[in-house]
């Protein structure tokens, strides 16, 4: 393996609604990080921005920012992986240092979003969603909401229990944010506030969704020994379409990335002192803590309920306030998570928000709807940690096989409703409110479809109708559903002789 | 330094106007490269696309392409540096392998551009231009045209001579393209064809500008020893604004990148057997061959005239046909240059277009208006090349100092016209034709301004007028210009005592 890589300094702007331009925010963060590192000779500038062309109308952003920093001449590249851009640009910068070709590398990630109308921003963010699901009107909150409903069913929670779990995540992260001077939201949220907030996409409310934010973060990496070392990196993709996955309620990309990062750092989940977990939606924090191996599957909500994930808990999650309260400038969030972990490991924060005795910290960052996720592990260099010679991971990432995907339309007209949501804030050009559901057809294909009725229930039998590229569903009669099942079964058992020959 | 990195395989789609989607093109190139490499276990997928969100309406492209390849699970990042994206993504992939963390890395670069109206494409490409220059209506061809006029003046060429030089570049590269099965244009261009083609931005014609193109290229890098080794990489930025530079006719970013690449490879320009040089505009090939040290400043056009840069010449430039004839899918061109160098070094091309005995090849790729350039050097591993222990570069990159930039408006109203152009195909929303010029004011500021008259001449005295954010210029009287010069001189010599005290 290459050279060791250390974090020399971090810097961050206040997150929120800003009147500054994106280059101004990014330059501010960069100068703070260079000052913090006391390093002013930079060999490479890595830039992380997600949809900067559409948000600001400027391209060629690596050269633009390097010029604004007064560093023109220094090489610069932009790295992008949707909403995990902040971690991905950190990873590419890590390789540049680990390769031995660059000594001091500046990473700057940022996004400017609040100046556009919400429907426009939602549309830009929805470009990260697979085309068919996007065409049905699915936005990020709609997909997250359907994942939430499925989690509720799999964990055997009542709607009230699930709502109470989500509320607890929001309340915890808003409390943490109230202590963080960089956070967009600094006010404590009560249970009443949570339940009074409006639906975004049932069962998710405003307080379940990370806000639209402006902000920038910078990190200086160096090959010279410093107090914080980058000890683990993991990165994995998943299918672009949510319907192509084995599970709705666990992200394979997180599990694979965690496995790589734990292996590289030669640690296990229980060695982590503090973690920043991508809570773009409150349920994602619960799922994240399970996928990272902090808690068993479908047990994350219980651990939250017991207070294990609060700042003074056993494994503090999102002491920064998370994406929920610190804010979510999409291209910057991953690097903001890393900056928070650095601060926590240094142990120099205000006592109210300092995780005591943190030695190893982790950040988990989601790209798109969990199809380009990264896990980053940082560690204090002054903490002696014996690693067995024959080290073996105890972390079980679960099923990480790639599923064979067939993009053919279903041959069946009936199926079962896997999960659904009603979306209230739809992307530009989509009718509102819109009820969407994932339907598993009788021939085992997963289809996203628009609902033609209300009062839906997970597991109910539905009938599909196709109009152009879009699928619709309504309650299906038991007789029709059963007839199709029997018909399909018969056609498999009694295959006509020439049909068999036709196969190859 | 890290591990050695080798090129295991390359693949490319035909360039041109395609009915395929960008993912289809990129998947085709990827499978060709993996087949060529005979490597099917990929550890990382690097994606190079420039303005894919605006061209195709899809973001999250790293996950999207990895999914389409059937590689979901494998980590993937997108790298972007405007029109040098193809080389920058190659560089980041190189670090990932050189760091020792990844063994086999797949790089895929592509762009889909032909489906949009030309004015829209021109506008998307113009987002890479510095805001003030873009606001004046400057497009890439307009800036390239002004650079051409300045080159003509500095090299003391007549307009006819300059036209003949440009024609020779176009004719050579179209001839080379006629031999390349992947090229967008496969027909030979005559001098008559060249002079019959219409003006894009005086003195540049259609045949001086690279076309709008669809296409994709892929390369597999590996840590395992193969026939072609990556022996040199260089990367440098320059000021975003052209007016902030010391020279219009030489690109500091190329000179810096070349210096780094030659130093890393421990070679000098004369060791290069074949080069692909970024000819988005014909004059850029001439300037490139000078900046890379193949020929002295202002001598590139002579070398071209002598045939030194043709396929059978001493240092063949753009045997592929270059961006001019092979085509210019902006995010892919850099990787297409690298693929061509690989083929030339392997020595397996059709005899008509094979550079004989090529051992070391170079590609030079320009990002934006020459503010994010890369130089890549590839070498055969079977050619013994003794390197002196105390190796020293003979390549002189010239002045590579960073200039102090003041963005204040000029205090002077008069100045000298440095260069100008008339642009016929303007970006969306800009009147056509439009005459633009760079004016050096009497207080030594460089200003881009729109002309208020015809019959301009480099070096003439002009008077500036400001309207809002835009500057305009017209011929200035000798008296007014002289009065301002004398006034400025007097104010410097006879500084009032209190003004001196006011300074600090």
> What 3-state class would DSSP assign to B123?
helix
Q: Which chain B residues are within 8 Å of A241, Cβ to Cβ?
A: 67
Q: Which chain B residues are within 8 Å of A66, Cβ to Cβ?
A: 237
Is the minimum CB–CB distance between B94 and chain A shorter than 8 Å? yes
**A9 membership: H or E segment, kind and range:** strand A6-12
Q: Which chain A residues are within 8 Å of B95, Cβ to Cβ?
A: 92, 95-96, 98-99, 101
- Cβ pair A98:B99 closer than 8 A: yes
**Segment B54-60 mean pLDDT:** 96
For residue A497, the model assigns a pLDDT of 64
Compute the distance between CA of residue A51 and CA of residue B379 in angstroms, rounded to an integer. Answer: 37
For residue B493, the model assigns a pLDDT of 85
For residue B440, the model assigns a pLDDT of 96
Give the minimum alpha-carbon distance from A216 to chain B in angstroms, rounded to a whole number: 19
For residue B498, the model assigns a pLDDT of 64
Task: Give the bridge partners for A48, in sequence order.
Answer: A79, A109
Nearest alpha carbon to residue B143 among B301, B275, B249:
B249
Task: Give the bridge partners for B80, in sequence order.
Answer: A78
Q: How far is CA B282 from the centre of its chain?
A: 11
For chain B, give the percent of residues with pLDDT over 70.
Answer: 98
Nearest alpha carbon to residue B225 among B54, B3, B482, B2:
B3
Of the given ranges (A316-330, A371-385, A394-408, B119-133), which has the lowest mean pLDDT?
Answer: A394-408
Give the minimum alpha-carbon distance from B266 to chain A in angstroms, rounded to a whole number: 15
- Cβ pair B371:A72 closer than 8 A: yes
- Phi first, then psi, for residue A191 (nearest 5°) are -60, -35
Nearest alpha carbon to residue A355 among A324, A309, A393:
A309
For the purposes of burial, counting CB atoms within 10 Å of the CB of B294, is it exposed (0-12), middle (13-18) or buried (19 or more)? buried
> Which tens digit of pLDDT belongs to each residue from A339-375?
999 999 999 999 999 999 999 999 999 999 999 999 9
DSSP letter at A380 equals E
Interface of A with B in 298-357 (CB under 8 A): none
Strands (E), B305-350: none
Q: Which chain B residues are within 8 Å of A76, Cβ to Cβ?
A: 81, 235, 237, 372
SS (H, E, C) A254-274: HHHHHHHHHHHHCCCHHHCCE
Backbone dihedral region of B38: left (phi > 0), alpha (psi from -120 to 50 degrees) or beta?
left
In terms of pLDDT, which residue wins out, A392 or B437? B437
Is the minimum CB–CB distance between A51 and chain B shorter than 8 Å? yes
Interface of A with B in 386-405 (CB under 8 A): 400, 402
For chain B, give the percent of residues with pLDDT over 90.
Answer: 88
Q: For residue B134, give the chain A residue with the closest CA.
A: A58
Angle at B379 between CA B377 and CA B385, to 5 degrees: 115
CATH of range A414-502; options 2.40.50, 1.10.8, 1.10.10, 1.25.40: 2.40.50
Which of A59, A84, A256 is best to mutate for the B interface (most B CBs within 10 A)?
A: A59
For residue A500, the model assigns a pLDDT of 52
pLDDT band at A465; cut points 50, 70, 90: very high
**DSSP one-letter string for B216-256:** EEEEEEESS--SEEEEEEEEEE--SSGGGSS-SSS-HHHHH
For A318, the token pair is: 């999102």
The string over B109-147, giving b where at least 16 C-beta atoms fall within 10 Å of a residue's C-beta and e elsewhere, is bbbbbbbbeeeebbbbbbbbbbebbbebbbbbbbbbbbb
For chain A, give the percent of residues with pLDDT over 70.
Answer: 98
Compute the distance between CA of residue B353 and CA of residue B355 in angstroms, rounded to an integer. Answer: 6
pLDDT band at A403; cut points 50, 70, 90: confident
Q: Which chain A residues are within 8 Å of B371, Cβ to Cβ?
A: 60, 63, 67, 72
> Which tens digit of pLDDT belongs to each residue from B233-266?
999 999 999 999 999 999 999 999 999 999 999 9
Q: Is the pLDDT of residue B504 over 60?
A: no
Interface of B with A in 19-48 (CB under 8 A): 44-45
Compute the distance between CA of residue A88 and CA of residue A367 in angstroms, rounded to an integer. Answer: 9
For residue B380, the model assigns a pLDDT of 97
Of the given ranges (A281-285, A376-380, A490-494), which has the lowest mean pLDDT?
Answer: A490-494
Compute the distance between CA of residue A300 and CA of residue A172 in angstroms, rounded to an integer. Answer: 14
**Segment A487-497 mean pLDDT:** 82
- Cβ pair B79:A100 closer than 8 A: no
CB-nearest to A372 from B60, B88, B236 is: B60
**Segment A450-458 mean pLDDT:** 95
Task: Give the bridge partners for B461, in sequence order.
Answer: B416
Q: Which chain A residues are within 8 Å of B367, Cβ to Cβ?
A: 60, 62-63
- Cβ pair A58:B252 closer than 8 A: no
Q: Is the pLDDT of residue A437 over 90?
A: yes
Compute the distance between CA of residue B306 and CA of residue B326 in angstroms, rounded to an integer. Answer: 23
For residue A499, the model assigns a pLDDT of 57
SS (H, E, C) B41-92: CCCEEEEECCCHHHHHCCCCHHHHHHHHCCCECECEEEEEECECHHHHHHHH
> Which tens digit of pLDDT belongs to each residue from B128-139?
999 999 999 999
For residue B496, the model assigns a pLDDT of 67
pLDDT band at A464; cut points 50, 70, 90: very high
Compute the distance between CA of residue A92 and CA of residue A230 in angstroms, rounded to an integer. Answer: 13
**DSSP one-letter string for B5-53:** -EEEEEEEPPPBS-SS-HHHHHHHHHHHHHHHHT----SEEEEE-SSHH
For residue A387, the model assigns a pLDDT of 82
Contact B388, B117 (CB under 8 A): no
For A345, the token pair is: 């490991």
For residue B330, the model assigns a pLDDT of 98
Q: For residue B76, give the chain A residue with the closest CA.
A: A237
For residue B499, the model assigns a pLDDT of 57
CB-nearest to A75 from B127, B128, B237 is: B237
Which of B62, B234, B365 is best to mutate for the A interface (most A CBs within 10 A)?
A: B62
Q: Is the pLDDT of residue B40 over 90?
A: no
Q: Is the pLDDT of residue A218 over 60?
A: yes
What lies within 8 Å, CB to CB, of A189 at 6+ separation is A170, A171, A174, A175, A207
Fold agreement (B6-114+209-380, B414-502)? no
Give the minimum alpha-carbon distance from A324 to chain B in angstroms, rounded to a whole number: 22
CB-nearest to A53 from B58, B74, B127 is: B127
Is the minimum CB–CB distance between B81 and chain A shorter than 8 Å? yes
The string over A127-148, giving b where at least 16 C-beta atoms fall within 10 Å of a residue's C-beta and e elsewhere, is bbbbebbbebbbbbbbbbbbbb
A-B contacts (CB, under 8 Å):
221
Interface of B with A in 116-175 (CB under 8 A): 124, 127-131
Angle at A32 between CA A27 and CA A34, to 5 degrees: 95
Give the minimum alpha-carbon distance from B157 to chain A in angstroms, rounded to a whole number: 31
For A286, the token pair is: 């619960």
Q: Is the pLDDT of residue A486 over 80?
A: yes
Q: Is the pLDDT of residue A1 over 80?
A: no
* Architecture of the domain delimited by A6-114+209-380: 3-Layer(aba) Sandwich (3.40)
- Cβ pair A98:B94 closer than 8 A: no
**DSSP one-letter string for B303-316:** HHHTTTTSTTSSS-
Is the minimum CB–CB distance between B101 and chain A shorter than 8 Å? yes
**DSSP one-letter string for A394-448:** -------PPPPP--SPPS-SEEEEEEEEEESS--TTS-SSEEEEEEEETTS-EEE
- Cβ pair B239:A95 closer than 8 A: no
In terms of pLDDT, which residue wins out, A384 or B15? B15
Q: Is the pLDDT of residue A502 over 70?
A: no
CB-nearest to B95 from A66, A67, A96 is: A96
Is the minimum CB–CB distance between B50 and chain A shorter than 8 Å? yes
pLDDT band at B430; cut points 50, 70, 90: confident
**Count of CB atoms situated within 10 Å of the CB of A443:** 15
For chain A, give the percent of residues with pLDDT over 90.
Answer: 88
Compute the distance between CA of residue A250 and CA of residue A238 in angstroms, rounded to an integer. Answer: 11
CB-nearest to B72 from A82, A98, A239 is: A239
Q: For residue A86, give the chain B residue with the closest CA.
A: B77
Nearest alpha carbon to residue B202 among B458, B463, B441, B429:
B458
Give the minimum alpha-carbon distance from B194 to chain A in angstroms, rounded to a whole number: 32
Q: Which chain B residues are within 8 Å of A400, Cβ to Cβ?
A: 73
Of the given ranges (A291-300, A425-434, B110-119, B435-444), which has the lowest mean pLDDT?
Answer: A425-434
Q: Which chain B residues are within 8 Å of A72, Cβ to Cβ?
A: 237-240, 371, 402
Tokens 């500038």: give the residue: A45
Q: Is the pLDDT of residue A442 over 50?
A: yes
CB-nearest to A95 from B53, B63, B101 is: B101
For B27, the token pair is: 């998947």
For B113, the token pair is: 């551009």
pLDDT band at B427; cut points 50, 70, 90: confident
DSSP letter at B103 equals S
For residue B364, the model assigns a pLDDT of 98
For residue B495, the model assigns a pLDDT of 73
> Which tens digit of pLDDT belongs to each residue from A26-77?
999 999 999 999 998 999 999 999 999 999 999 999 999 999 999 999 999 9
For B406, the token pair is: 């003041």
Nearest alpha carbon to residue B462 among B410, B426, B425, B404:
B410
What lies within 8 Å, CB to CB, of A204 at 6+ separation is A141, A144, A145, A148, A166, A281, A282, A283, A421
For B142, the token pair is: 């307009």
> What 3-state class would DSSP assign to A392?
coil
Q: Which chain B residues are within 8 Å of A239, Cβ to Cβ?
A: 67, 72
Interface of B with A in 213-232 (CB under 8 A): none
Average pLDDT in chain A: 95
Give the minimum alpha-carbon distance from A327 to chain B in angstroms, rounded to a whole number: 21
What lies within 8 Å, CB to CB, of A264 at 6+ separation is A231, A232, A233, A234, A377
**A122 membership: H or E segment, kind and range:** helix A118-126
For residue A504, the model assigns a pLDDT of 43
pLDDT band at B308; cut points 50, 70, 90: very high
For residue A429, the model assigns a pLDDT of 81
DSSP letter at B422 equals E
Compute the distance between CA of residue A292 and CA of residue A277 in angstroms, rounded to an integer. Answer: 9
Q: Is the pLDDT of residue B1 over 80?
A: no
| Domain chopping of chain B, boundaries | 6-114+209-380, 414-502
Average pLDDT in chain B: 95
User: Pairing mode, if any, of strands B44-48 and B274-277?
Assistant: unpaired
**B170 membership: H or E segment, kind and range:** helix B159-178
């Amino acid at each position: 393996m290459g050279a060791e890589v250390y974090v020399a300094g971090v810097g961050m702007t206040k997150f929120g609604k800003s009147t500054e331009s994106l280059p101004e925010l990014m330059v501010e963060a960069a100068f703070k990080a260079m000052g913090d590192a006391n390093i002013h000779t930079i060999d490479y500038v890595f830039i992380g921005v997600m949809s900067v062309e559409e948000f600001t109308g400027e391209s060629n952003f690596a050269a633009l920012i390097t010029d604004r920093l007064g560093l023109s001449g220094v090489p610069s590249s932009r790295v992008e992986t949707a909403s995990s851009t902040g971690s991905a640009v950190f990873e590419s910068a890590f390789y540049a240092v680990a390769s031995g070709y660059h000594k001091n590398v500046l990473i700057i990630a940022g996004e400017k979003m609040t100046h556009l109308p919400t429907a426009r921003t939602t549309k830009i963010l929805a470009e990260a969603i697979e085309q068919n699901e996007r065409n049905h009107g699915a936005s990020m909150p709609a997909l997250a909401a359907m994942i939430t409903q499925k989690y509720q069913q799999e964990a055997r929670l009542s709607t009230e229990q699930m709502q109470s779990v989500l509320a607890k995540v929001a309340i915890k992260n808003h409390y943490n944010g109230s202590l963080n001077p960089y956070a967009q939201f600094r006010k404590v949220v009560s249970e009443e506030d949570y339940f009074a907030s409006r639906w975004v996409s049932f069962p998710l409310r405003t307080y379940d969704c990370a806000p639209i934010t402006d902000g920038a973060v910078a990190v200086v990496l160096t090959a010279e020994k410093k107090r914080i070392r980058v000890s683990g990196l993991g990165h994995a993709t998943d299918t672009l379409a949510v319907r192509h996955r084995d599970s709705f309620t666990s992200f394979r990309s997180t599990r694979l990335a965690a496995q790589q990062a734990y292996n590289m750092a030669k640690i296990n989940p229980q060695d982590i002192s503090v973690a920043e977990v991508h809570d773009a939606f409150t349920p994602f924090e619960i799922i994240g803590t399970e996928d990272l191996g902090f808690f068993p599957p479908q047990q994350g909500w219980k651990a939250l309920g017991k207070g294990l994930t609060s700042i003074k808990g056993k494994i503090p999650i999102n002491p920064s306030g998370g994406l929920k309260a610190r804010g979510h400038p999409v291209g910057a969030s991953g690097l903001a998570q890393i900056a928070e972990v650095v601060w926590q490991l240094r142990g120099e924060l205000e006592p109210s928000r300092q995780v005591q005795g943190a030695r190893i910290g982790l950040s988990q960052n989601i790209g798109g709807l969990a199809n380009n996720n990264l896990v980053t592990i940082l560690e204090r260099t002054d903490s002696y940690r014996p690693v067995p010679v024959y080290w073996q991971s105890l972390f079980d990432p679960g099923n990480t096989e790639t599923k064979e995907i067939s993009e053919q339309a279903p041959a069946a007209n009936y199926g079962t409703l896997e999960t659904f949501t009603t979306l209230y804030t739809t992307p530009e050009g989509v009718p509102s409110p819109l009820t969407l559901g994932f339907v598993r057809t009788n021939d085992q294909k997963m289809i996203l479809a628009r609902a033609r009725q209300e009062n839906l229930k997970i597991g109910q039998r539905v009938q599909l109708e196709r109009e152009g590229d879009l699928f619709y569903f309504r309650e299906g009669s038991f007789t029709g559903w059963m007839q199709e099942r029997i018909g399909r079964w018969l056609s498999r058992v009694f295959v006509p002789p020439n049909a068999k020959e036709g196969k190859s």
